[in-house]
Structure 1
């Protein structure tokens, strides 16, 4: 699997006449090598040339983890007292790899490292390989689908724990602690992003900051969470109510649910991604809440929690079998609260499949 992915990169380099690719993004490294880590300030990178064998540059302390991840290629190891760029220079020279044109991930490459790359040669040009890598990750295999399904199941469980933890006077932070404690007991070591539990007026902030806000009767309680399972991310949002709801809250919830179901129903092969956004947005706008839906309908999901494709109103890309993304419409009314409902969708030949399955009907927790 990893060999085939690296060959994809090598073919691109040959086609574009690029000497080598310098890949250091966490998600891209995992996608190409199976190794996932947080290197902090230390350099961890994959060097891929069109013909030479690829090499992983990493601190010596990571070697056993790299091998355990299944990497079978060469490793350039270094200690904290070494300069890894000297080893990279030697590798390039020994393998007769040029330095005139290098492929990089611009949004992930620091200025310091870009300068180190430019010092490897004279009149060196840096070219963007980021979109090529994102395109490579766009269509998921059945093996990837199975992993994403497991990640989604754990996200479902996280919401289940959170809903059961709702209690008058309990704070957002307390509920988050209970969710993540139970997930860790299930073996989850990494969340896809910082878990959100937002209650009352705070739920009207799409990406609100959880704090010491206490759950009160009549509140919406919004959960947004995901886990990383075998390198792949899940992402789910559910909103419930505590004790009772007003007619206005019921209307808001019903509108969001209708919009979400409409967008999922529109997720058929050949449809443009912008039209999926429009399918949900039209429902919310027609109900009079268009100004309270400030974000796109969804985003791609895989080795990163946000990747291609972007399901925004202007995206004309057509839906393809194997794409995975979220559908997450929301309405956020200041001083009233917010509702978002989000599922992870895998596009199959015969239609969309929801990987997340926690119930979506309005629940009023007593």
Structure 2
């Protein structure tokens, strides 16, 4: 049986879809879309129960993200990215958790994690400077996770590099309002943010390697729930790829609605065209396979953690390989049906074209780049231990 949040999203899906165009035009989630996501509780699925969350199975979280994205791609994307942040916040110092959620458990947290800034050590913490791109949903967030390299006294990054995830309140960073002008996922409002000399107390930081390991951060934070013992590079990609697959499901539904009664310029009813019907069934199967593969991967890792077993690099590598592939498979399926939707599919009043654009932009995220992930996994499957950057993002 579906998680109750997934059921709520299903009940609200028509309303989310009705505000998708408003979200796209605004370049950020509409106020109504934000209210609907809050009402459903999607952002609290991975939040710890002691701060008003569900500490849900990550499979349930992914299904909720897919359901949102099937109605509105941009809203689903923000849920997929932002919905993972409460999971990491659960691993942070409890003082920070109280600051973020103590008064309002519905407080949203933004990111990005790319280490595009430098944190220079000082008494009691760090001084942070930098500019970060792609802060999805940032207009609706009161706190932010940022990736940063630890710096030397002169502000240059230490070598070899060591990275942190640091957390700042809204008053300590600037959102660059004109920095999100794109062709897809327009409503995510994934703007740039700037930090110019903000002080970050030590307790608002965490070593990125601790989070990546899957157990070190959980042990330090005293979190025993299975979901918090999973590796970062399984959890963070999960939300993003779930959004892409949900978008593909939305595209398929829009295609079916459009094609059901369509007559081509040659006078052929689509329901009588065996070539289009073949493409529809093949695409539907590919998208369904992508969903299954994504959910299976995170469930396998969860089961290992739940049994108290070590999640090995090989385990993580296989899940990352499959997660990347299922995103590309789903978007390829969308291309097949879009190519058979006729000229009117490109009109802006046809939701199919928005899903098509959103799906392709979703593939541009760094976690969907297959090269090094496939390379690393192939070596691992041969019994060769990947080294250096071939272990990155896994």
The normalised TM-score by structure 1 is 0.24
Q: Radius of gyration: which is bigger?
A: 1
The normalised TM-score by structure 2 is 0.23
- Decide which structure has greater helix share: 2
Structure with larger RCO (C-alpha < 8 A, sep 6+): 2
